[in-house]
Structures are given as C-alpha cells and as structure tokens.
Amino acid sequence: MRARSLVPPLAVLLLAACSGAVEPAPVPPPTPTPPPPATVVPPVASVVPAPTATPAAAVAAPEGPPGKLNVLLITIDSLRADMPWSGYPRDIAPALTAFEKKAVSYTHAYSISSYTAMSVAGLITGRYPGELDRSGYFFSSYPDTVLRFPMLLQKAGVRTLAGQAHFYFDKQHAGFHQGFDDYEMVSGLVADNKTDSNISSPQHLALAEKMLSDKANTGKQFFAWFHFMDPHDEYMPHAGIGPYGKHDRDKYDAEVTFTDQHLAKLFEFVAQQPWAKDTAIIISSDHGEAFGEHKRWRHGFELYEMLVRVPLMVQAPGITPRRIDAHRSGIDLAPTILDLAGVPAEPSFQGKSLVPELYGKPAEDRDVIVDLPRTSDNDRRRALIHDHFKIIAWGDDYSWELFDIGADPGEEKDLKKADKALFEDMKRRYKEAVGKLKDICPRHTDTLKGKDKHHRC
Ligand SMILES: [Zn+2]
C-alpha cells in the first residue's frame, strides 16, 4: 500500500467536481524512505527450497472437489515468502504454520505485482494490471466496467462477501467492492496515505465472524474475502509479543505474529461452522516486503524477489496435503476460486485453475509474469520467471537485468553480459509472453512516470 496522497489539491477537486471524475490527484514523488539501521536479512529464496528438477509427482487423491464448494480467501498484506514453514528461523506464525501442514502449499508462488493497488486488482480481475482500464494514479481506481471474478460468482447465484481494513479498499477509492453482495469496512480506520498505523486485526476478526455468522451470507454457497493489513508498515508494537528486536524485520515479525494470533481464532471459528466441511480456504499475500535488499524498504517500485515472492496455500475438502515447487502466480487465483465454486471462468483470464493439482494431478512448471505498470509514481517494471532464471525489464524494455535466482537468490549478479546466449533466450521468452498481454493506457497519462516524456504509454 506504499502510499501517496489521496487528498487532491483544491483546483483538482474543483475540476473533478466539474468533470464528474473521482480520480485521486497526481501528487509529487515521495520523499525516499530513510534507510533504517542495517538488519541482516537473508534473501527470500535462500530460506525457501529451490524447485525440484522434475514436476511434483501426482499423489492419490480424488479427481476434484466433492461438489461446489464455498471459498474463503484470506490475503495478508505484505506477507513475505520466508516464513517458519519455509525455513525462516523465528517461529512467528504458529497458526499459519499449522495451516500449511494440512494444505497444498506452493514454495514458488509470486504476487501479480509488487504493491496493493496493482496486485489486488489483478487478483480480482484475473488479468495483469497493465491490461486493466484504470486511472493511472499510484492508488489506482478501476471503473465498474472492469470484470471482476466475484461478478461471475454473483451471476451464478453464489453469495459474495468481503470485509476490509484499509481506506483504499472502501467504496470511494479502488472499486474492489464491485461484485460483492455484502462489502463492509472495519470501522474507525485512520486514513493515512503514507503508511498504515492502524491496528486492525481484532476488529477485522470480529467483522469476519459477524459476516460469516450472517445466514444471509453463509446460508447458501458463498465466497468470502478478508484482506488482513497489520504486517503493512508502520510496524506497530503489540503487548505480549516479543519484542523480537529493534530492527524493522523484528518489528514486522511481531506484526505477523499478531495477525497470526487473530487468524488462529478465525480458523477456530470457521472449523465450528456447519459449512466448514464444504469450504476451501486459500491463504496468500498481495506482495512481499523489503528490509534493505537492493536498498529497498517496504514495497512497490521494483520486482526483486523479496517484493514478489509470497505464500500460497490451500486447504480444501478431499485434498492430500503436499508441497508444490512449480512456479505459480496470484493470477491463477481467479480461475481457481471459480473452479472450486463450480462456476466457469472467463476466457480473458490469464491464469490457470490450480484445482487439478490441488487434487493430486502433476504440477508442471509454468513461466510467471510479474507486472508493475507505469503510474504517477513509478516507471514500468516487468519480469518473467522461466525455470530458475528471471529477467526484469525496465520502462519500455530499455534496460534489463538477468538473474539465476536458483544459484543467486539475492539477485546480486546480473548475467546479461556474462551469458549473452541466455540473455537473448530470456529476452525472446519475455517478449513472446508479454506479447500476449493486452496492455492499455490508463485514463490519465499526463503524470505517468517514465524516461520518454513523449511516449509515456
Ligand atoms: Zn499491500
């Protein structure tokens, strides 16, 4: 949620009032975050197992879900991939760790982008953010006409509900509420466009339990989504947790623990419900978080591993828990959720349903695209992950970085000059993959960042 001002200058407000526009105003670039004291943070991938050379073997399991399921999606803002279940040495998330043991869990999952406004939009539309009709501002808004997968669920008669805990998610900003029958916000949130100092998990848990207890919501097949916010900066202290230390990662870890404690209660609540046996639960994040890697802190702006590797795990009736090393992306969630609910996906969706492999089919490796379109605050970045290589394109592909993320998880050694054949091959793969995207310009192009002032989009 790396924040920019959402408070438009008066002139823009007047203009917006005249034009009927509701876009947030362009704002000056942020003051760079001063680096905190150095903390030794291992590269995300160094504590996450490398992919196996062969696809995960199929395990004996049913062919698919036993009927049309309810789906509960829990996303946790800024949750990095290096967590206790993937080798992080501090036991900061016992409930999530226990959940992972009983889940199909992806060791190489990527977010769609590296900050909320792009990544969550991609998740709920099943498309890359550069393909979406959008305002073009950092805190982008998305018009009602953009198809969101909950709209398809609604049309099929599935009840859709969501409870959110950041002002950007409210009905006046992003437009994420489209397609939900019941969409509620945690009350009493302080709107701050630079950071998030709200402590929202207790109220968020209460809201989730209230909404999930409502027979109008869960009396028939439903999809529910709750996006927990507390690991997002600012990293707030919590009585009884730690302190783990004085560095940012230490403070962040305490926020993860705090969130985990509330998720434990949510899992307990869900387990007691009559509908639990017919419900799939998906846990993931919208992006990671940086603690000094590549001189970055917090998130957004770049696509290095610590910003885009995320947990992804699914519990569902009839699955056999296992870990899958194949590369996957949040782009796969829209078709997966629809598939679990028994609702056909939309051909424009870019991802693929994970349901066959959740139920034991082999998981073949696939290339992953990560897309950060140009906005009022950042130039474009795009990455392609193929096997254990990753190529990152800057701007309109004017500059490149190439890494062997298997051997060099910290992305420290750019290989584009050292291995020209590999570089040409990865460039070709990248161009072929992104050539299939249907990029469009945002509605406001005048403030887009970029090198070429005459070709911003
Ligand atoms: Zn976020």
DSSP string, 101-155: HTSEEEEEEE-SSSSHHHHHHHHHHTS-GGGS----SSS----TTS--HHHHHHH
User: Is pLDDT of 92 > 50?
Assistant: yes
Mean of pLDDT over the chain: 88
The burial of 402, by beta-carbon neighbours within 10 Å (0-12 exposed, 13-18 middle, 19 or more buried), is given as: buried
Residue 17 has pLDDT above 80, yes or no: no
Is residue 29 scored above 50 in pLDDT? no
Within a domain: residue 433? no
Does the residue 105 lie in any domain? yes
Q: Which residue has the higher pLDDT, 437 or 192?
A: 437
Find the mean pLDDT for residues 116-134: 97
Task: Give me the mean pLDDT over the 67-85 stretch.
Answer: 97
Cα separation values, 359 from 66, 104, 324, 356, 381, Å: 10, 9, 12, 5, 35
Domain encompassing residue 186? 70-358
Q: What digits encode the pLDDT tens for the residues 384-431?
A: 999 999 999 999 999 999 999 999 999 999 999 999 999 999 999 999
Tell me the pLDDT band of 306, cut-offs 50, 70 and 90: very high
Span 333-382, pLDDT tens digits: 999 999 999 999 999 999 999 999 999 999 999 999 999 999 989 999 99
Res. 449: pLDDT tops 50: yes
Peptide bond into 234 cis (omega under 30): yes
Nearest-angstrom CA–CA distance, 224 and 244:
33
233 in any annotated domain:
yes
**Ligand 1 center to 120 CA (angstroms):** 8
Q: What is the 3-state secondary structure (H, E, C) of 243-284?
A: CCCCCHHHHHHHHHHHHHHHHHHHHHHHHCCCCHHHEEEEEE
Residue 66 CA to ligand 1 centre (angstroms): 33
Q: What is the pLDDT of residue 62?
A: 63
pLDDT score, position 32: 38
Domain count within the chain: 1
Q: How far is the CA of 77 from the centre of ligand 1 (A)?
A: 4
Q: How far is the CA of 169 from the centre of ligand 1 (A)?
A: 11
Give the pLDDT band of residue 194 (cuts 50, 70, 90). Answer: confident
Q: 125 lies in a domain? A: yes
Residue 44: its pLDDT value, please? 56
Give the distance (Å) from ligand 1 centre to CA of residue 139.
11
Q: Any idea what the CATH number is for the domain that residue 321 is in?
A: 3.40.720.10
Q: What percent of the chain lies above the pLDDT cut of 90? A: 77
Average pLDDT of span 1-26: 34
CA 277 to ligand 1 center in whole angstroms: 30
User: Rounded to 10 degrees, what is the CA torsion of 317, 83, 86, 58?
Assistant: 20
pLDDT above 90: residue 189: no
In a domain, 320, yes or no: yes
Is residue 389 domain-resident? Answer: no
| 56 C-alpha to ligand 1 centroid (Å) | 30
Instruction: Write out pLDDT tens, residues 136-169.
Output: 998 999 999 999 999 999 999 999 999 999 999 9
d(CA 304, CA 378): 15
Residue 292 has pLDDT above 60, yes or no: yes
Question: What's the CA-to-centroid distance between 117 and ligand 1, angstroms?
Answer: 7
Residue 159 amino acid letter: R
Higher-pLDDT residue of 194, 318: 318
- 185 occurs within a structural domain: yes
pLDDT value, residue 195? 85
How much distance in Å is there from the Cα of 74 to the middle of ligand 1? 13
Tell how far the Cα of 60 is from the centroid of ligand 1, in angstroms. 36
- pLDDT for the residue 457: 74
Ligand 1 mean position to 337 CA, how many Å?
20
CA 343 to centroid of ligand 1, rounded, Å: 28
- Rounded mean pLDDT of 188-205? 88
What is the arithmetic mean of pLDDT over 118-124? 98
What count of residues does the chain have? Answer: 457
Residue 11: CA count within 13 A, CB half-sphere:
2
**Where residue 14 falls among pLDDT bands split at 50, 70, 90?**
very low
Cα 387 to ligand 1 centre (Å): 27
- pLDDT over 80 (residue 330): yes
* Structural domain contains residue 434: no
Question: In sequence order, which residues have a C-beta less than 8 Å from that of residue 85 and are 6 or more positions away?
Answer: 96, 97, 100, 101, 105
**Å from CA of 1 to ligand 1 middle:** 4
Residue 27 has pLDDT above 80, yes or no: no
User: Cα(372) to centroid of ligand 1, in Å?
Assistant: 13
- Tell me the pairing of strands 279-284 and 70-76: parallel
Per-residue pLDDT, 104: 98
Work out the pLDDT band at 43, boundaries 50, 70, 90.
low
What is the whole-number distance in angstroms between the Cα of residue 136 and the centre of ligand 1?
17
CA of 119 to the centre of ligand 1 (A): 8
Compute the distance from residue 124 Cα to the ligand 1 centre, in Å: 14
